[in-house]
Structure 1
Amino acid sequence: MRIPKFVLTLFLVGTSAIFAQEKQVTLEDIWRGTFSQERLESLKSLNNGTEYIVLNQDRKAGSSSIDVYDYKSGEKKGSLLNSSDLSELSGFQSYELSQDENMILLATDVDQIYRHSSKGIFYIYDVKSKELKKLSENKVQEPTFSPDNSKVAYVFENNLFVKDLASGKETQITTDGKKNEVINGITDWVYEEEFAFVRGFDWNADGTKVAFLRFDEIDVPEFSMDIIGKDLYPTATTFKYPKAGEANAIVSLHMYDLATAKTSDINLGDYEDFYIPRIKWTNNPDVLSVQVLNRHQNDLDLIFVNAKTNEVKVVLNEKDSAYVDVTDNLTFLADNSFIWTSEKDGYNHIYHYDKNGKLLNRITKGDWEVTNYYGFNPKSKRIYFQSTENGSVNRDVYSIKTDGSKKTRLTQKTGTNNADFSADFTYFINTYNSTSTPNEYTLHDAKSGKLVRKIKDNSELLELEKAFDFSPKELSTIEINGNNLNMWTIKPSDFDATKKYPLLMYQYSGPGSQTVSNSYFGANDYWYQMLADLGYIIVSVDGRGTGFKGAAFKKVTQNELGKFELEDQIAAAKKLGELEYIDSERIGIWGWSFGGFMSTNAILKANDVFKMAIAVAPVSSWRFYDTIYTERYMTTPQENASGYDENSPINHVDKLKGNYLLVHGSGDDNVHVQNSMRLIEALVQANKQFDWAIYPDRNHGIYGGNTRLHLYTKMTNFIKENL
């Protein structure tokens, strides 16, 4: 039978709409880059303030280029270099410019060591002569130009070196560096992981001195980790890892004088069992700033060291009943007065001190947090920062005078805004996203925030996603235990309030963290969309202990990690279970790392609420974790045994009911697989049935090849079978 033309048209339109809505996201889509966003890679402003540079990689040609763009017009002005023009190397992974921008350090053949550290072969490129020289035949760490770019300091095999670029002469500053014994110029494992810095040396302003840290690790307990590999016999890697209550490396401060070729040992004072989480030269080449933190991390001194006399002076002290956060916000102005951020009034704010540590002014104030400090414009006397003033799930960019007046909001769209300012603070490139908008890059006038031009967006990604009919990520709050907690929800696209749905809760819950924000999808969000298509509702709730709602909210969990955080997740699950469209008999929870610690506690201590739990790379006892992180929130096990043991899953295995999946990577240098192995043994001896998987040689991120795809397939199947 012949179908009338207009009927056929309606049929085609209708079926195409149905097919568009029926397109389902797959794990292969997620983990093979279907939803990748466009980004500006390694964006940096040039000194002229009118141009910026971006690292571009030509995947097909295998080449790298540092391309120059005009801020105002967006026109490409050329390239500082293109590896296709160099015969010595085909490409490079990263770059660093000298202060005068005439020299560039290029990183190649980079090997990752731990989370932040790496070593590689480095080249030095002269922008004017276009000459390329290899820095060293060895794979080195943290090469850094002197201020006049005549020298480069770097670390090789735990010793500090300086190379004169004109003569090629290499000077070895330290000689006692030895693996698992002494480290010079870079930090040890626990400093790198928990204080988030690797380079433990710094040039002074005129390049005449190098200050550096030395770590004596001899008495630190050694951790051994088997590497299965592909050979007939496995190998072992050993490194110093101080667990809670155990000995830390002994850290000391030293100063090398290039003129005399002598090293001075700096006596910081009568400190015992302390950390040096930051060193930084002031604008005065004879004054070094040093931050000294006690082991409990609740008492921090900012010290100035006179490089001529080696005399030390405490210029500022921060104390807190719980802990003091270490940041990178310390900024010295031309007169050596400095900017400092502190939570001392209950929220993180900006303060201005003179060169002797006298408070000049409190610059920001209010029941909101400064979340990023961008810098100071000496011409306009304005400071630029990011904050949560527009709500703890949002981020906006502001400027303010150093006297605290004339605060200006520079971003207009509500969501997550992050700025990258030109060197002279004329412009900033804003990166904006929200729950409904992937990254948009726009150029703005730094004085008013006015839009100058659009640079790049992800409209193609949004167009691609239309076929999947994704559900919105709904932001809301839920009142739990006297607090309005931030929450997001993803429902099935065909959600029907008259039906009952199983609920999967995701959380991380660690101190100062945030999982609920006005930001666009990450890889896990696409997974949640896939689960929503399968008929699940997914929720995340940021409970007490998480960040950006003031110090009291964040630090309430002190000495009892896992107690209040778990109470909030349990209460949230119960309250959500009362909704007519939630099946209270089918509530699951999952998390990774701290989140895995939490989800394990949930299935053990609240087995009447949670039917299912997944834990990836969890801490099973805080006694197994490192000194800096654990003791910051728990003090030592010797001082707080009950706080450690009452909230550690390993001590509650007899309570397991329901379905539990435990996953770990055997090469995890951070949360050691020991955590899961000891938990597995405890569960076995308690005769508790559960599922578990170990990924050989994978680190805390559990990735590489098809590993993530395999892991998320396993977790998806577990959810489908058990929730």
Structure 2
Amino acid sequence: MKNTSFSGHYFMLAYLYLFWFSMFKVSAQEMAENYRKAAMIKTSMEQNIYYAPRSFRWSADGEKFWYGYQTPKGKAFVLVDTHAPTRGQAFDQHALAKSLSFELKATVDPYRLPFDEFNYLKHDSIIEFTAYDEVWQFDRFTYRCVQRRGLSGRQRSQQGGAPIGNGVISPDGKWIAFIENSNVSVRSLTDSVVFQLSFDGSPGAYYEPNLQWSPDAKKLAARKVRPGETHLVYLIESSPTDQLQPKLHSRNYLKPGDVLPHYTPALFDMEKKRQVPVHGVSIVSQFNLTEPLWCANSQYYTIEYNQRGHQLYQIIQVDAQTGAMKTIVSETSKTFIDYRGKRFRYDAGGGKEIIWASERDGWNHLYLYDAVTGTVKNQITKGQWVVRGVVHVDEQERSIIFEASGMVTGSDPYLKGYYRINFDGSGLLELTPEHANHHAYFSPDFSRFVDTYSRIDSPPVTVLRNSADGKVVLKLEEADIGALVGAGWQMPEVFSTTGRDDSTSIWGIIVRPSNFDPTRRYPVIEYIYGGPHNSFVPKSFISEPASGDYRPWTALHELAELGFIVVQIDGMGTSNRSKAFHDVSWKNLKDAGFPDRIRWIKAAASQYPYMDTTRVGIYGNSAGGQNSVAALLFHPEFYKVAVSSSGCHDNRMDKLGWNELWMGYPVGPQYSASSNVDNAHRLKGHLLLILGEMDTNVPPESTLQLVDALIKAGKNFDFLLVPGMGHSLGGDYGERKRRDFFVKHLLGIEPPVWAGMND
């Protein structure tokens, strides 16, 4: 007997689904319009933000600085006199354009000048700039442009002294030290007598030419090196521009587990013309041993020892008389020591003190060391916040200007500000009190600084401040985004919620399309970069370059225009928070903060029901390429579509330094556990891989081995190989393929036919 009740219920559900889908499905005409807007929005964002300077140049004496910005008319350039203080036009743009037009025999628009930067010469009477591949000088008083030949004034100022050949001259000018037959020798500059100082060098264990004289010229420091292995990787350039046949390229590229060079510190006594044995501290299993650094009084030099595995980092002192080594600073960690992003050292008092950065209390802070005894005199900065960088150390005042984030409880912990503090930890002073992300440009003497501050949801303000107290000396600019908002642009939203531990805040942004309709349901796309070496969600209104981040945040708006909600999140395992937050990534790059990211997106969707968590996509490049594939391998219940470009899909195939730092040494089973290649059989959902055949950052075989594993596992996926392209998201062609892929698999719409495409 037929179950009419069930059948009727089924057809009713199908009807309701089709009715709902038809209500929210974008028409082909609307989709084509969305593509047009996506192509235009980046230009609109760049051209419709006015009075927002992005770079500043100080005069050598620190009395003046100048900058340029966009105005409703076009470009404008401003000169600021810090003593008056006043601001005015940097030069007569109309006069320059008129003179340049005469020289070029072509019209030059005064508000579309063919340069963005320039330099003052001859007491500010001349400005020098580069345009049309030539160097030009404009006289501010005669209003005449002339084309210069040879080096520009700025280039001339950057030229150094002539090389002295194979050798390093001593500070007293009496000797030149050099390498001959893998050994260290010195030659007198008065009578040309040569003394050989070392006799144990050979091609297999030689002395480096970077010899370091003590300030009193009585001692000479060196490094002896035993070379590591050579690991050649190859690239096939299939379509070179200068010949028909392909080209084979090779280079040395060490990968995790490869043999590294081994360095041994050396010391030579010039008075006795002999080598002094260096002894006392074990420095085996090296990742690196830095070059010698002499103290001001020539009593010792220091080296920094990073043990392979990145769990021991030391400053070692070598006595100039005896060659005895002793450890002055020792950092240890059960996980990793982030020497790449958080190391800071400053030798003060002629070598009597060291200012040193450490995460030993769980947060990145500064410590003052007695450089003679190796004891900590005091912790300089302290609290549940992080020092992001040191700007200036004033030894006379015994104070430090530094950059930090996370000081304001409950606020976005990534917003950077500037502070001053004394060596003894007293007198902490906030120089930039506004709730924003600050970027400072200091005068040469650090007495003043230009501060441009903004947030992703607050346009930039630019002021001139005193470095002593942070007080505003002169308000310079306040950005105008009226034209941008008037064109329908949607302000990004900062959103936070708690992470996997129910207590740690996770921060990200939400980007909506310009035609946003809260009654619609939008698929969600996450742009991911989960590399442990930094944090990546933009914090400034105008994007700042970030290490490892290969697209400005304007790209999020471009993608959103196609009918998506686009998000970017910093999950656990990324940097610039506590040590515990960072340690999540250790030996576990497949984690990529996904438990926090998924929780964040669900929390945002709970507040904004128009975010459809049944249709979630993800894309990323490089480490983000690894992360985006991992989303479909390890979290397919949440992520349904991924586009990965230039991915590091197996950390054993990528560069040694970056991967051993986070994944550990020796290479062990943790590498396989995080490998997209070894876990390719887990793939669910829709995947597009994009690869440039000339990628010199992450070797192409990393992606190709994933392709091989997916084929062997019988998985369906898409793959785009771009001839001649390096480490990138795929260029304009790859960008279009990425957008089409999301439109097809998240919106369920066939993308518009490409312009110029054959039917």
Match of 1:623 among 626, 648, 652: 652
Query: In structure 2, how many angstroms separate the alpha carbons of the residues matched to 1:412 and 1:148?
Result: 49
Size of the alignment, in residue pairs?
624
The structure 2 residue matched to 1:334, chosen from 349, 354, 366, is 349
CA deviations 1:218-276 (Å, max 9, x no partner) are: 52422233344332333333333221122112234457899999998866842222133
Give SS of 1:633's match. Answer: helix
Alignment of 1:615-654 (within 5 A): 615-636=644-665, 638=667, 640-641=668-669, 643-654=670-681
Deviation at residue 79 of structure 1 after TM alignment: 6.2
Q: Is the 8 A contact 1:341 1:351 kept in 2?
A: yes
Q: How big is each residue's C-alpha offset from its partner over 1:55-98, in whole Å with a ceiling of 9 and x where there is no partner?
A: 99xxxxxxxxxx99864457868469966689773449978xxx
Equivalent pair of 2:276/2:322 in contact (CA under 8 Å): no
Structure exhibiting the larger radius of gyration computed from Cα positions: 2
> Which residue matches 1:713?
736
Partner of 2:718: 691
Q: Does 1:282 align with 2:343?
A: no
SS in 2 for 1:367: coil
Residue aligning to 2:750: none
CA displacement, residues 306-351 of structure 1 (integer Å, 9 cap, x when unaligned):
3455442211111111112224521111243111111000001111
CA distance in 2, matches of 1:39, 1:204: 42
Q: TM-score, normalised by structure 2?
A: 0.71
Q: For 1:624, what is the secondary structure of its paired residue?
A: coil
Where do 1:116-265 residues align within 5 Å? 184=208, 216-228=226-238, 229=240, 230-253=242-265
Deviations 1:675-708 (A, max 9, x none): 1010111112222222222233433246xxxx63
> Which residue does the alignment assign to 2:620?
591
Distance 1:458 1:250, change over 3 A: farther
Question: Would the aligned equivalents of 2:42 and 2:558 in 1 still touch at CA under 8 Å?
Answer: no
**What secondary structure sits across from 1:623 in the alignment?**
coil
Q: Within 5 A, what are the aligned runs for 1:78-477?
A: 78=122, 89-91=150-152, 104-106=157-159, 184=208, 216-228=226-238, 229=240, 230-253=242-265, 269-276=281-288, 278-279=290-291, 280-307=293-320, 309-326=322-339, 327-335=342-350, 336-356=352-372, 357-388=374-405, 389-390=407-408, 391-436=412-457, 441-454=462-475, 459=479, 462=481, 465-466=484-485, 468-477=487-496
For 1:408-557, list aligned pairs within 5 A: 408-436=429-457, 441-454=462-475, 459=479, 462=481, 465-466=484-485, 468-481=487-500, 482=502, 483-522=504-543, 523-557=551-585
- Out of 494-503 and 213-222, give the one that drifted further: 213-222
Letter paired with 2:651: W
2:24 alignment partner in structure 1 = none
Residue 61 (structure 1) aligns with: none
Q: SS of the residue aligned with 2:526?
A: strand
Cα 1:500/1:277, change in 2 over 3 Å? farther
Distance 1:435 1:680, change over 3 A: same
- Structure 2 equivalent of residue 17 of structure 1: none
User: Do the aligned residues in 1 keep the contact of 2:53 with 2:67 (CA within 8 Å)?
Assistant: no
Q: 2:715 and 2:175 mapped to 1: Cα distance?
A: 62
Residues 32 and 479 of structure 1: is their aligned pair in 2 closer, same or farther, counting only changes over 3 Å? closer
Shift of 1:148: 11
- Secondary structure at the aligned position of 1:528 is classed as helix
1:625 CA displacement: 2.1
Question: What one-letter code is carried by the residue in structure 2 that aligns with 1:394?
Answer: L
Q: 1:433–1:161: structure 2 CA closer, same or farther, 3 Å change rule?
A: farther
Q: Which residue matches 1:113?
A: none
Q: Distance in 1 between matches of 2:384 and 2:208?
A: 42
Which residue in the other structure is 1:722 paired with? Answer: 745
TM-score using structure 1 length = 0.74
Partner Cα distance (1:265, 1:674) in 2: 46
SS in structure 1 at match of 2:659: helix
Alignment match, 1:116 = none
Cα distance between partner residues in 1 of 2:485 and 2:331: 51
Deviation at 1:534, TM superposition (A): 2.3
Q: Are residues 1:40 and 2:55 paired?
A: yes
> What is the SS of the residue equivalent to 2:37?
coil
CA contact (8 A) 2:343 2:357 kept: no
Cα displacement string for residues 151-209 of structure 1 (whole angstroms, at most 9, x for unaligned residues) = 99999xx99999x9xxxxxxxx99x9999998956xxxxxxxxxxxxxx7777657888
Aligned 8 A contact 2:532 2:582 in 1: yes
* Aligned AA (1:690): F
Q: Distance in 1 between matches of 2:308 and 2:438?
A: 36
Deviation at 1:372, TM superposition (A): 0.8
CA distance in 2, matches of 1:458, 1:263: 63
Whether the 8 Å contact between 1:573 and 1:609 is mirrored in structure 2 is no
Deviations 1:593-614 (A, max 9, x none): 1111111011122223222101
Query: Residues 425, 577 of structure 1: CA spacing in aligned structure 2 closer, same or farther, 3 A cutoff?
Result: closer
| d(CA) in 1 for partners of 2:614, 2:265 | 58
Distance 1:300 1:35 in 2: 49
Flag the 1:531–1:210 CA change in 2: closer, same or farther, 3 A. farther
- CA deviation digits over 1:37-70, x for unaligned, max 9? 74336x5674x6x4478899xxxxxxxxxx9986
Contact 1:27 1:712 in 2 (8 A): no
Written as runs of structure 1 = structure 2, the 5 A alignment for 1:6-85 is 24-26=37-39, 29=42, 38-40=53-55, 43=57, 46=60, 50-51=62-63, 71-72=82-83, 73=85, 78=122
For the 8 Å contact 2:267–2:323, the answer to whether it is kept is no
Question: Contact (CA 8 Å) 2:368, 2:423: kept in 1 or not?
Answer: yes
In 2, Cα distance between equivalents of 1:152 and 1:537: 65
State whether residues 31 and 709 of structure 1, in contact with CA within 8 Å, keep that contact through their aligned partners in structure 2.
Answer: no
Q: Distance in 2 between matches of 1:712 and 1:180?
A: 48
Deviation at 1:541, TM superposition (A): 1.8
Q: Counterpart in 2 of 1:607?
A: 636
Matches of 1:345 and 1:570, distance apart in 2: 30
* Bigger shift: residues 664-673 or 221-230: 221-230
Determine if contact 1:589/1:610 at 8 Å carries over to the other structure.
yes
4+ residue segments displaced more than 6 Å: 52-56, 74-77, 85-88, 92-95, 143-155, 158-162, 176-183, 200-203, 206-210, 255-265
Structure 2 unaligned residues grouped into runs of 5+: 1-33, 69-77, 91-119, 129-134, 138-146, 189-196, 544-550, 747-759
On the 8 A contact 2:168/2:211 being kept in 1, the answer is no
Equivalent position amino acid for 1:485 in 2: I
Provide the C-alpha distance between the structure 2 equivalents of 1:34 and 1:209, rounded to a whole number of angstroms.
Answer: 59
Distance 1:291 1:181, change over 3 A: closer
Provide, for residues 427-481 of structure 1, a one-character-per-residue CA deviation record: whole Å limited to 9, x for no partner: 23334332145665533111110122356x5847x46634543211211212231
Q: In the aligned structure 1, how far is the partner of 2:735 from the partner of 2:313?
A: 42
CA contact (8 A) 2:38 2:562 kept: no
Q: Is the 8 A contact 1:475 1:518 kept in 2?
A: no
Partner SS for 2:652: helix
The DSSP-based 3-state class of the residue aligned with 1:599 is helix
Task: Give % identity.
Answer: 24
Q: Could you tell me which residue of structure 2 aligns to residue 13 of structure 1?
A: none
Q: Contact between 2:286 and 2:308, CA under 8 Å: does it hold in 1?
A: yes
